[in-house]
Structure formats: structure tokens, C-alpha cells
Structure 1
Amino acid sequence: MNIYIHIGSTKTGSSALQHFLNKNSNILSEHGIAYPDVGIVSDAHHLIAATLHPMAFKMHSNVIPDNIDQKLEFFYSRVEQFLTAARNVRTHSAILSSEYLWGEFQPEFYAHWREAFKDCNLHLYAILRRPDQWVQSSYLQALKSGEGRAYADWYRQFKSSPTSGTDYYQVIKRWADNLGIETVYIRTYENLVSNNSLFNDLLKTINPHANFFDKLTYSSRLVNPSPTQEMAELLLSINSSNIQVDHKKTLRKLILMNLKKRDIGELLEILPLGERNAVALAYKGVIGNIMREYIGSDQKRQFFKSWLA
């Protein structure tokens, strides 16, 4: 069986894609593509992905055991249930999706994934966002959740954490090398959005001749509201203040409630231009590594064209 592991990255429409796949799972299975209802939380296979993750398992402590031996038993049993569910509907391919899988992990993490799927043909599918947009979106999410550090202090820790996955190249390479994955599919968020193919691209990757898209139910293109630079600064001032935690939550909620939802793919400008340019410059080497190793010569110009805007 072919297993397509969608690892993210974060902030690239993963939740919308997972909702789309889960909502259409019955139709997809009729056409040979399984999105098994195993380990699902919020439409994604988060329970499978979080079990061996160094931190994410804590967010599901009511289900995932803390003991390492019990964790391993939980992980392998859920993977077997996932594969059994896919086989039961007689599909040729299955999709496993969770942005918890985005990051750089220890060798034993990948070793267990490789062992669990040893009898499958593995494919890696990753969506990358223009670095300055990805970093801004990540910081914005942190502000919405109560982050009280200024951008520079937050980013210093963010980029030094392996689980943040700031080095796109290393994230992809570790998955490919440690699991022996030969087929790696990399897309840019911007190209998928501009081509209106965020939802269908993975399905077309699995089956280039698929002709069932008119039978699927699609989600709205509107996404959560994003504040302006001034509003982001207001959120920061609230988060870093000495007022009570509950009051901070209420104020953040009021601010976000009064913002209009934006169209998917709309550019963020919550950081000054100099900060955005600094991120773009820092990623030149990472992008170069990806293009050399994973992008065909005939695709390079088009692949990152939207990132040059």
C-alpha cells in the first residue's frame, strides 16, 4: 500500500486540508484513497503523530500514556489500526496528515515510524510557505495565544527549537533519509493558493487521472482574521501587561472578534519591512538546498516564483 505522509508545514492551510479530506473520506475511499478515521483529532491524525513527539503528546495526555513503553504500544497499535482501516476499504493509497510531524526529531523517532510502516511504500508530501510569511504567521499565532515577548526575543527561541522546523531543508531531509523515502513532493503554499489547488493537489499527486473532484465538498477560502501591525502591537502590549490572565484572554477575544476574516493567501505585514527582509535573506541557503536536492531543473523557476514577489 502507498502511504502519503503529509507533514505540514504549519501555517500552510493544513487544518483546512485535513477538514476537506476527513469530510470527503467516504467519497475518496470509493476512488482508492483512504483517509482513515483512526487517531483523529480536529480532522487530523494527531493522536498517531503526537504519541512519539517530544512535546505534542502532552496536549493529549487524557488519551496518550506517559510511560515510554506504553507510548510505543499505543503508537504501533494505532498505526496498525490505521493500516487495517485502509485495507478494509480496499484502497491503493492512504493519507496520514498532521502538522505535529513538522520539525527535526531524534533518530529513534524516525526509526519507529519506519518500523511501523515497513511493509508500505512511503511518500512524503510537504507544503512550504514563503519564509517571511511563515514566520509572521507563526508569531501571530503566538500573540493570539498570549505570547508576551517582542518579536526578536520570540524568534530567537523559535528558530533555535528543532521542533519549530525553521530549517525547511533539514525537516524534509530527515524524514526522507531516515525512512528511506524516495518520492518527496514539495509544494509552495503560495502556488497552491494562486492556482486554487490547495485541496486537490495532494489527490492529483496520488492519482493524476482523478476525475471525481466535482463530487467533493469544499471549504470556504476565508481564514481566521489577521491583525494589522498596529493591532499586533496592541496584542503584545496586552500579553506583556500585569493585568489578570482572564482579563487578557477577554481583551484578545474582543480584538479578534472585531477583525474581518481575510482571504486565504493574503499577504501578512505585521512586521516591519526590515524584519521581513531579514528572514528572507536568512533562508537563501535553505531554499538553495531544497532546490538542489528535491526540485527538478524544469520546475525550479516556477516553483519559487511566488516567493520572489
Structure 2
Amino acid sequence: MERRKLYIHIGFHKTGTTSIQTWCFNNRILLLNSGIDYVDCHCVEKNHAMFALTLNPTLVSKCRSSGFFKGLNEVNRYKYENQDSQQVYSDLKNYINNSPLNNFLISSECFLEGIDYNHLYHHLKNIDNLDIKIIVYLRPQISWLKSVYKYVVMDKDLRFSGHVGDLPQIEMLNYFNTLENITSVFGEKSLIVRNYIQEESGDYLIKDFINHALNIDITLYNDNVVNENASLNDFEISILNYLWMLEKNTGVRSFFIENFIYSRYFSWLSFLKCNKIKLSKKIKNNLESSNLLLFKKYPNLKKFNLTNVMDDK
């Protein structure tokens, strides 16, 4: 019997994950005809976060308290809040065993959110004759920080302090350690690491994902790839940076977000530049050391550095 293969696309965050998921969901038939099944089992909102969330009850609680589930319809919200990992992975096993195909794909950034990979491996090893391939895209840390900062700074609930070092994902940016946590469980041959290149055209990422990460030959005739998570422009960021100096209980910042950011009154001033990203020397040195190990172990990666970072003393 030919061995089957499960591709798990885990992000990173801010590397076009939503665009990839949307394309794969909208083109399931095309992928099926090419031998890849974008798994329909527990696919909610075009992604497979269910397989990750059930491995981390704490993450489910965070999603509930942050209002993440509020945007879902009642049926999907119930699924997220009441499924258990044993049942979810049993469903995946049955889905794979009953499929005529040998290649399967699931995708969710939540696999990076405090998941115990031993727990994940425990569930997947129950599926006979299955090889695991984990796909991850890496974005230069500075580009990543700017992008995610522009996103979280809009949080009207003020859960983010305004300082880059307080971003909950900052530890993930030690790419080497993050990848080592994965390979220590699944093995080095399980990992597929690719560069996320922001400057390329929108369909570049989809083509790279299909042709290189999945290693299948699909000619894309409909290359309209939409940026699913548009961020703020530089002027809007500079205003928000200033508003962090105000007392949070004045409501000024929330008012600005609700009445100006979302209506894009300032988009015509986007030529103004915001401040450079600031990192503590400790964080900067940690990331630089991590990158040296990263590029030594994965020589196929295009190198990136932290030379554009200002030290926050």
C-alpha cells in the first residue's frame, strides 16, 4: 500500500496564511484533481484551527475571552467550544482512511500557539501508513513586527501595551527554537521551510506554496489573490503611537480607532513615515543569535537581518 502524506501548513503569522487558505478552499476541486485533498473534515472559516485548538484548552479560553468566537455563526461557535481532541482526530483518521487520495492538507496558524507537539504526534500516529510534512513560511522579523504591530495596535479593548516587546508572539520570532520544537518530535525531514517574500506579486505566494511546498504542478489561470488582512498606513500608526502617551481611560484612542482608522480618513497622508521599530538589546541579540543558527541549518533560506532596528535603551 502506498504511503499517505498529511501536509500541515502552520504559518507563520503574517505570511499570507489567510490568502493561502482562501485559495485552497476556493480551489478544492483543482487540488483534488492534482491529488491533494484540502481536508473538509472540521474545516471552519476555510481553515483547520479546530485540530489545534482542541490540543490547547487554554487557547480556547483566550479565544473566548478575546471575542474571537463572536464572529462565527452559532453552529461553528458551538463546534469550537465543545469539541475534544480525541473525537476531532478520530474524525480525521476516518476521513483519511475513507479517501481514495494519498495526499492531504490542513492549515492553521493556531498550531504555533502553545501546542504540545508530542500531543499532536500522539493523535496522528494512530493513522496508519501516514507521513507528516509541516510547512512553514518565515518572514524577516522586522517586517513581521511592523505588520503585526499595525494589526494589534487597532485593538479597541487595549489589551496590548503599545510596546513591541510585549507582543504575545515575540518568543515565536526566535525561529530556530520554534522550528527545533517541531523537529524534535516529528524529525528534521518532516519540515518544509520557505521564505515569505512580501515584495513579490500577490500570486507569487500561492504559486510557491503549490509548486514548491506541496511539490505539485498546477498552472494558475486565475491568479487574483486578495490581501485578506490589510494593515494601517504609516500616518495612522504615527497617530496611534502618539495616543499611547495619553491616559487609556480618556477614551481618546478608542474614539480615534472607531471614527478615523476604520473610515480611513487619513489614507491620503500615507506618505508620512512612522517611527522605526524599537527592540531591547536583549531581544535583538537573541533574535540575531537565532538567525545565525537558522541559516546554518537551513541554507536554502534567503538571509535576513536586524540591521534596521533601533535599540530601545
Cα drift, residue 183 of structure 1: 3.4
Alignment of 1:1-309 (within 5 A): 1-58=4-61, 59=63, 62-64=78-80, 71-84=84-97, 88=99, 90-106=100-116, 108-117=118-127, 119-146=129-156, 147=158, 149-152=160-163, 155-156=165-166, 158=168, 165-180=172-187, 182-190=189-197, 193=200, 196-205=203-212, 208=215, 210-214=217-221, 216=222, 218-221=224-227, 223-228=229-234, 229-233=237-241, 236=244, 240-243=248-251, 248=254, 251-252=257-258, 254-258=260-264, 270-275=274-279, 281-293=285-297, 295-296=298-299, 299-300=300-301, 303-304=302-303
Deviates more, 1:281-290 or 1:230-239: 230-239
- Relative to structure 1, the CA distance from residue 242 to residue 274 in structure 2 (aligned partners, 3 Å threshold; closer, same or farther) is closer
Q: TM-score, normalised by structure 2?
A: 0.75
User: Secondary structure of 2:192's match?
Assistant: strand
Q: How far, CA to CA, are the matches of 1:24 and 1:191 in structure 2? A: 23
Deviation per CA, 1:111-139: give whole Å up to 9, x if none: 43443456311111101111122123223
Q: How far, CA to CA, are the matches of 1:32 and 1:258 in structure 2? A: 43
2:121, 2:186 within 8 Å by CA — same for their partners in 1? Answer: yes
- Relative to structure 1, the CA distance from residue 259 to residue 175 in structure 2 (aligned partners, 3 Å threshold; closer, same or farther) is farther
Letter in 1 for 2:224: Y
Unaligned runs of 5+ in 2: 64-68, 70-76, 268-272, 309-313
Letter in 2 for 1:172: L
Cα drift, residue 2 of structure 1: 1.3
Cα drift, residue 171 of structure 1: 2.0
Q: Percent identity?
A: 15
Deviation per CA, 1:236-277: give whole Å up to 9, x if none: 468923439xx937843641331688xxxxxxx754355499
Deviates more, 1:113-122 or 1:129-138: 113-122
Q: How far, CA to CA, are the matches of 1:240 and 1:102 in structure 2? A: 31
- Relative to structure 1, the CA distance from residue 131 to residue 172 in structure 2 (aligned partners, 3 Å threshold; closer, same or farther) is same
Deviation per CA, 1:23-63: give whole Å up to 9, x if none: 11111101111102222222111112211124333336622
Cα drift, residue 83 of structure 1: 2.1
Aligned length: 287
2:10, 2:135 within 8 Å by CA — same for their partners in 1? Answer: yes
2:147, 2:231 within 8 Å by CA — same for their partners in 1? Answer: no
Letter in 2 for 1:44: N
Q: How far, CA to CA, are the matches of 1:270 and 1:116 in structure 2? A: 51
Which residue in the other structure is 1:266 paired with?
none
Deviates more, 1:181-190 or 1:278-287: 278-287
Task: Supply the RMSD in Å over aligned alpha carbons.
Answer: 3.7
Cα drift, residue 104 of structure 1: 4.5
User: Secondary structure of 2:200's match?
Assistant: helix
Q: How far, CA to CA, are the matches of 1:93 and 1:76 in structure 2? A: 17
Deviation per CA, 1:203-246: give whole Å up to 9, x if none: 112564614322x55323575131323133256468923439xx
2:19, 2:228 within 8 Å by CA — same for their partners in 1? Answer: no
Q: How far, CA to CA, are the matches of 1:259 and 1:102 in structure 2? A: 35
